[in-house]
A and B are shown apart, each in its own frame.
Chain A
Amino acid sequence: MPSTEVGYVRRELPEKLKTIGLSLFAVGTGLGIIGFLINPERTSLSYLVTFMFLVSIGIGSLFLVALEYAVGADWSTPFRRISEFLAAVIPFLLILVIPLLLNMRNIFPWTHKSIVNSSELLKGKTAYLNIPFFIIRSLGIFIIWWVFYYFIIRNSRKQDSSKDQLLTKKNVNISSGFIPVFGLSITAIAFDWMMSLEPNWFSTIFGVYYFSGTVWCALAALTLIVILLNERGYLHRKIDSEHYYTLGLLMFAFTVFWAYIAFSQYLLIWYADLPDETIWFMHRWIGPWKIVSLAIVFTHFIFPFFYLLSYKVKMQAKKLKFIAIWILCAHLLDLYWLVMPGMPSNGYQYYFSWTDLVFPIAGVGLLILIFKYLSQKYNLLPIGDPKLQRGLDFHL
C-alpha cells in the first residue's frame, strides 16, 4: 500500500460497487427501453428529467472544481477529486442526449409547424427555436464543457505524479475562463431543454433558477460521497467535522439562494399578472400539481432551511448524509416539476407513469459505475496539489 507524504493511504473501493452499479444501470435501462417502446412520448419526458439531473450533477460538479481553483480555496482541496469524478458525466452527455434528439417531436411543441403557426410569439422565435440550431447549440455546449472538463481534469491528474505547482496556476486560468462560459451556457441549456417545453412562456431568470439547483445538487452529491467514503476510511483521517460543517454551510447558502431566485421569478409574475406569464404557474396549480408545487416549497426550501440552520447539525456526519440525500431527491422533484406539467397531451393534468422512477435508477447506476471506474485509475485525493496540506489542516 503506497503511502504519500500527506499520509493518504490508497485503498480500492469494494468490488461490490461494480455489481451494484451495473445491476442498477441494467435494470433501469432495460425498463426504460420497454417504456420507450410502449409510450415514447411520456417516456421521453421521464428520460428528460433524469437527463437534466445528470447534467446538474456533471456541470455542477465541474463548476465546484473550477470555483475552487478560481478563488484559491483550500478547504475543499482534499475532496476535489470527488467532484472531478462526478464531473466525468459530462462526456457521456453527448451519448445520453441521443434518445432525446430522436424524440424531439415528442417533447417540444415548437417542433410542430401547426403549433408554431398558431402563435405570433412562436413565429417570432423561430430564428432561435428551430431544430437544426437547437441541435447545434446543445451539442456545441456539451462539447465546450467537455473541452474545459478535459483540460482542468487532465492538469489535476497530472499533478498527482509530477507535483508541478504550475499546473495549479494553469488550472486557475482555465477555470476563470470557464466560469463566464458556464454562466452563459447553463442559461442556454435551461432555456432550451426546459423552458422551451412551454415555448410561449419566458422568464429571463430561468437560467439562474436552474443554476442554483445544479450547484445545490452537486454539493449534496459531493457531501454524501465524501462522508460515505470518509467514514469507511477511504479518504483521510484529517477530514473531519469542520470540513463537513463547511459543506453543510454551502448547502445551506444555496438553499437560500434557490429560494431567493425561485421567489424572485414568482413574485414578478404574480405582480404583473399577465396571462401569458401566469399560465406557467397555472399549469402547476391545477389538480394534483398544486400538491407537487407546495411540496417543492417544502422540500426544496422550508425543510432544508430549518434543518441546516443549526450549527450542530452541520457538524454531524449522519445528519448531513440524510439532508444530502434529501436534497438530491428534492432537486429531482424540482426538475420533474419543471418538465412534466407542460406536457400538452396531458391536458395539463397530472399523470403518473412508472417510467418516472425507472430512469433515476439507471442514472444512479451510471454514476456509481463511473465513480468506481475512475477510482480504480486515480487517487481519491489530489496528492500532488500544493494546497492539499493546508486543506487537510483546515480549521474553522
Chain B
Amino acid sequence: MSENKNLNSVAALFDTPNKIINAAKKVKEAGYTKFDVNTPYPVHGMDKAMGLGQSKIGYVTLFFGFAGAIFIFLFMGWTMAINYPYIVGGKPLFPFQAFIPITFEVTVLCGSIATVVGMLAVFFNLPFLNHPIHDSNYIKEVSIDKFGVVIEAQDPIFERDKVTEFLKSLGGEKIEYINEPEKEEFKILQPKFILFLVVVAALTSFGTFITLNKLMYVVPFNWMDNQRKSNPQSETNFFYDGYAMRTPVVGTVAKEFMPYPYQGQAQPEVPLANPTLPTEQLLKMGQEKFLTFCSPCHGNYAQGVSRLKGQFPPGPTLHSAKIIGYSDGMIYNIITNGQNAMPSYAYQIPREQRWAIIDYIRVLQRAQNPNPSDFQAIKELNKESGKNAVN
C-alpha cells in the first residue's frame, strides 16, 4: 500500500500507569516485537510488562569503567616511576596508594560518560539526533501527563488497520500515524549557526575576562594577595633605599659554591689544572653534558657544525690546532667566563661537570687525530671481543 510507505509507526495514548502496563503486556502477548512505551516518569514494573531483558548498557559501563581504571592507574605509574622518576613527599617511586582516589574518579568518569554516550548511540542512532516521534503530537502528550505506546511499521506482523483496531481495543486514545521525517540535512554554515558561534565566543571571552581580571579580586577572594610581606621587585619603606629585594652582603659565597679566581678574565694568569681522572663513568657524564650544553652550537662531535640552523652564530670547531693546544684550564676558563659571542655556562654546569666535558672533548679530539698506536690498541680489543670495531 502506497500510504504505508512513509509510515514509521502508530501511536496511542493511555491515561494511567496501570492502563499502560496492561497495554504493554497485551502488545507483547499479541506478538509484536518492535514497539516502545513512553511515559512521563519511570513506571515500576514496565520492564517486566514489556518483556525486556537486562539492559546491555551495563556492559558498556563495565568495560569503560575498568578500561579507565586500568589506564589511569598504569598511566600514573608510568609518569611517576618510569618517565620522570621523582620522589614526592618521601614516598616510594610507585606510590599506588596515592593513585587510588584518581583511579576511582576516572573509573566513575569513564563509566558514566560511556553510559551516556552509549545510550545516545544506541537509542538515537548517532549521528542522527532526530527520532520520528520527536515531531509528533504524541511526544508532547507523553512528556506531560499521558502514557503512550508506539508500534513500529518495521514489525514483521505490522498491518496498519489491524494495529489501529488493536490499540483502540486496548483503550488507546488519539491514535496517531507517525511518518518518517524528511531526510535530515546538516548545513553547518548557516548564518544562524555562525551567529551563534560568534555570540558564544564573545560571551566566553567576556566571562573569562571578567572572571580573571575582576571577580578574582573581589574582596572575599583576595586573601592570599593581601599578605603583610614584601613581594619581589616591590617597594618597601623598611630599608633606607626603598628596595624590597636585597642583594647578598659583599663577599657572600653560596653554599657548596667555589668562587672562580679568574672571574671575567679572558686570559687566566695560571690556568687551573684539571683535577679529574678520565674514568669511564666520568667520560659518560662528560658526553651527556656535552651533548646537552655544547652540541647545539659546536655540533655533536665538536666539529663546528651547529644544530641551530643559523639561529645563532655557530661555534667554531674544537678540533683546531689552537684548541688542541689549549690547556684544560684554558677551556675551563672559556666555559666559565664565556668568550665573545659564547655565553658563560658557570650557572648551568657545576664545576665537576665542566671538567668532565673537557675530558670528553679531549676524547673527541683524539678520535679525530689518532696515533698509529691507537689502531693497534683497537685491534687488540677487537681480538678479545671477536668483532671488527674499526669498520
Contact = CB atoms under 8 A, between A and B. Distances in A.
B253 to A, nearest CB: 36
A373 interface: no
Interface string B41-54: 00011011000001
Contact of B44 (A266, A270, A394): A394
Contacts of A267: 97-98, 100-101
Given A273-B90, A312-B54, A266 B47 contact: no
Interface string A268-280: 0011010000000
A266 B98 CA distance: 11
What is the size category of the interface that chain B forms with chain A? 10 to 19
A282 B291 CA distance: 48
A86 B101 CA distance: 36
Contacts of B54: 311-312
Nearest to A260: B104
A217 B98 CA distance: 29
Interface string A91-130: 0000000000000000000000000000000000000000
A273 B97 CA distance: 13
A266 B101 CA distance: 12
Contacts of B181: none
B37 to A, nearest CB: 14
B98 A271 contact: yes
A396 B97 contact: no
Nearest to B97: A270
B58 interface: yes
A395 interface: yes
B89 A271 contact: yes
Contacts of B100: 263, 267
Interface in B64-101: 89-90, 97-98, 100-101
Contacts of A273: 90
Interface string B8-47: 0000000000000000000000000000000000001101
Nearest to B65: A309
A395 B48 contact: yes
B189 to A, nearest CB: 47
Nearest to A270: B97
Contacts of A271: 89, 97-98
The 8 lowest CB-CB distance pairs between A and B, nearest first, are: A395-B45, A395-B44, A270-B97, A311-B54, A267-B97, A395-B48, A263-B100, A396-B47
Interface of A: 263, 266-267, 270-271, 273, 309, 311-312, 394-396
